[in-house]
């Protein structure tokens, strides 16, 4: 009996350590994700208020600027670790299904979204390391157009690009739902709910993500319909598209401030996310 009790305690302790490891990785991941969005927002604000030469940057462009700073290699490695942690959390959410989304069509769709997000963040982590250590000439080229061209070269690849575009646009409306309902507040600790500024900050952040997700998704669908990968746009391209519209600098500046709010929101999640970390 004593042996069984000790074995049960050892198992519980091991499970607790595993859970603590996942939670620490998730918090580091939220912080790294927020840092990437902060960089994107800063470049977008600069493009909105600056002269004609400034360009809004996507995630890769923003990450690459770190290499030119003091301690650039160390910062890139730390960022890569954080992004890898965020990717691990997303993959865990999609594959282990701790939120019990289930195996029906809706549940599988949500889980697939988590897996897709994890793979993208894992790619960003690898990109940061490739710049830090000079792999493949600093991470290689590509972007949305290069990736779209590659996928379109596969059998059925044009359809796949179109479906990805539809999925990203749908993901944008999920962000809009969060902005309207503020259901992200349910994921935060009571201490966070006492701070009146957190909810409007989160609403603004998710609303900005809605805008850029829909733009990226629509351009991918256009690229698929026209069988022209040059029509594809990533996050940086979506922000540049905003700038090219009437009153573009104002639109870009407004969305950039929203993305900065999202970066702050990710920092809030890193600090105030309720445990255990299951979803969002």
For 178-213, the DSSP string reads HHHH-GGGGGB-HHHHT-TTHHHHHHHHHHHHHHHH
CA–CA distance, 29 with 81 (Å, rounded to integer): 8
Q: In the chain, what percentage of residues exceed pLDDT 90? A: 43
Mean pLDDT on 109-121: 85
Evaluate if residue 15 carries a pLDDT over 80: no
pLDDT of residue 108: 83
Instruction: Out of 4-13, 77-86, 170-179, pick the least confident.
Output: 4-13
CA–CA distance, 69 with 80 (Å, rounded to integer): 16
CA–CA distance, 146 with 132 (Å, rounded to integer): 22
Token output for 74: 């160390």
Where is pLDDT greater, at 53 or 79?
A: 79
Nearest to 192 by CA among 63, 30, 78, 55: 30
Evaluate if residue 235 carries a pLDDT over 80: yes
Mean pLDDT on 165-193: 92
Residue 223 φ/ψ, nearest 5 degrees: -60, -40
pLDDT of residue 139: 47
pLDDT of residue 278: 62
pLDDT of residue 90: 87
Residues in the chain: 280
pLDDT of residue 117: 85
The number of CA neighbours under 13 Å toward the Cβ of 84 is 11
Coil, strand or helix: which one is 231? helix
Evaluate if residue 262 carries a pLDDT over 90: yes
User: Is residue 220 a contact partner of residue 232, using CB atoms and an 8 Å limit?
Assistant: yes
Mean pLDDT on 172-176: 92
Mean pLDDT on 44-55: 77
The model's pTM is: 0.85
How distant is the alpha carbon of residue 130 from its chain centre? 19
Average pLDDT, the chain: 85
Mean pLDDT on 1-15: 49
Evaluate if residue 56 carries a pLDDT over 90: no
pLDDT of residue 8: 44
Top-confidence range, 41-50, 101-110, 160-169, 214-223: 214-223
pLDDT of residue 261: 98
Q: What is the CA radius of gyration of the chain?
A: 20
Evaluate if residue 138 carries a pLDDT over 80: no
pLDDT of residue 242: 93
């Amino acid at each position: 009996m004593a042996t069984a009790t000790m074995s049960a305690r050892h198992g519980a302790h091991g499970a607790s350590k595993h859970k603590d490891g996942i939670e620490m990785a998730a918090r580091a991941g939220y912080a790294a994700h927020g840092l990437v969005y902060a960089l994107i927002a800063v470049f977008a604000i600069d493009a909105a208020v600056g002269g004609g030469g400034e360009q809004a940057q996507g995630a890769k462009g923003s990450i690459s600027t770190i290499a030119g700073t003091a301690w650039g290699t160390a910062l890139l490695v730390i960022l890569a670790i954080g992004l890898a942690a965020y990717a691990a959390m997303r993959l865990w959410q999609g594959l282990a299904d701790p939120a019990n989304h289930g195996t029906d069509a809706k549940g599988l769709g949500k889980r697939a979204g988590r897996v897709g997000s994890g793979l993208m963040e894992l790619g960003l982590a690898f990109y940061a390391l490739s710049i830090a250590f000079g792999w493949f000439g600093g991470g290689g080229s590509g972007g949305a157009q290069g990736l779209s061209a590659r996928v379109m070269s596969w059998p059925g690849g044009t359809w796949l690009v179109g479906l990805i575009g539809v999925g990203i646009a749908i993901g944008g409306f999920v962000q809009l739902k969060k902005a309207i309902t503020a259901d992200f507040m349910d994921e935060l600790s009571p201490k966070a709910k006492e701070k009146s500024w957190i909810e409007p900050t989160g609403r603004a952040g998710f609303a900005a993500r809605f805008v850029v997700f829909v733009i990226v998704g629509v351009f991918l669908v256009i690229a698929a319909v026209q069988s022209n990968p040059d029509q594809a746009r990533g996050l940086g391209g979506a922000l540049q598209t905003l700038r090219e519209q009437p009153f573009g600098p104002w639109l870009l500046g407004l969305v950039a401030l929203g993305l900065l709010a999202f970066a702050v929101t990710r920092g809030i999640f890193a600090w105030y996310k309720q445990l255990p970390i299951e979803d969002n």
